[in-house]
Amino acid sequence: MGKILVLDHPLIQHKLTFIRNVETGTKEFRELVDEVSTLMAFEITRDLPLREVQINTPVREAKSFVISGKKLGVVPILRAGLGMVEGILKLIPAAKVGHVGFYRDPETLKPVEYYVKLPSDVEEREFIILDPMLATGGSASAAIKALKSRGAKQIKLMCLVAAPEGVSKITVEHPEVDIYLAALDESLNEKGYIVPGLGDAGDRLFGTK
Ligand code: URA
């Protein structure tokens, strides 16, 4: 069973308050999403394997540790997931970046894949899928399926804010996927917005409306 981790570090919670606030403008919103993504990446990389190396400090020989070359991939779901990419690459600059995009079929209301581009060595990488808002979970679940169907074996999902409905969908459909959140909110409203949420993450990131 995958983990559901709400990252309650005070810096994440503090910055999330400003992200949520309707008074926060596009520039500040984008910067804050970037900063929170970096802070979340710190936690999401906690289980990276280390190997011991021998070095010389100015004082004497020492055994120390380096990350043991695990291959990582970051996959934003278009378009709002793009706002989280740079913040993560600050901590794991060697990660490759894939992209997935979905539109909603007007009749079935189900997500339909329109764009998928992943690194070629999918099977060897651990992937972090990025979606700021885990609302119904439809596109996050579709993104996980898109990666699995192309051979991905290890997938984590990172979101800023989630609704219980989205978390349930992922845990039922992809029980092995760990979910990292900055907040688990109360509900979804009739328009599909997370409550209290932060509004439309894509519009607030890119200044569209
Ligand atoms: N997508 C958003 O950007 N915001 C929500 O509240 C739900 C889905």
Q: What is the domain partition of the chain in residue ranges?
A: 4-206
**Catalytic site residue 47?**
no
pLDDT tens per residue, range 81-102: 999 999 999 999 999 999 999 9
pLDDT tens per residue, range 135-178: 999 999 999 999 999 999 999 999 999 999 999 999 999 999 99
Residue 46 CA to chain centroid, in angstroms?
A: 15
- Assigned architecture for domain 4-206: 3-Layer(aba) Sandwich (3.40)
Query: Which of 24, 38, 171, 203 is labelled catalytic?
Result: 203
Using CA positions, which residue lies closest to atom 4 of ligand 1? Answer: 200
Q: Residue 2: what pLDDT?
A: 86
Cα(35)–Cα(105) distance, integer angstroms: 33
Pairing of strands 133-134, 178-184: unpaired
ipTM value, please give it.
Answer: 0.96
Among 194, 204, 209, the mutation site with the greatest number of ligand 1 atoms within 8 A of its Cβ is 194
Annotated binding residues, as ranges? 79, 104, 131-139, 194, 199-201
Band the pLDDT of 22: cuts 50, 70, 90: very high
Using CA positions, which residue lies closest to atom 2 of ligand 1? Answer: 200
Q: Residue 171: what pLDDT?
A: 98
pTM over 0.80: yes
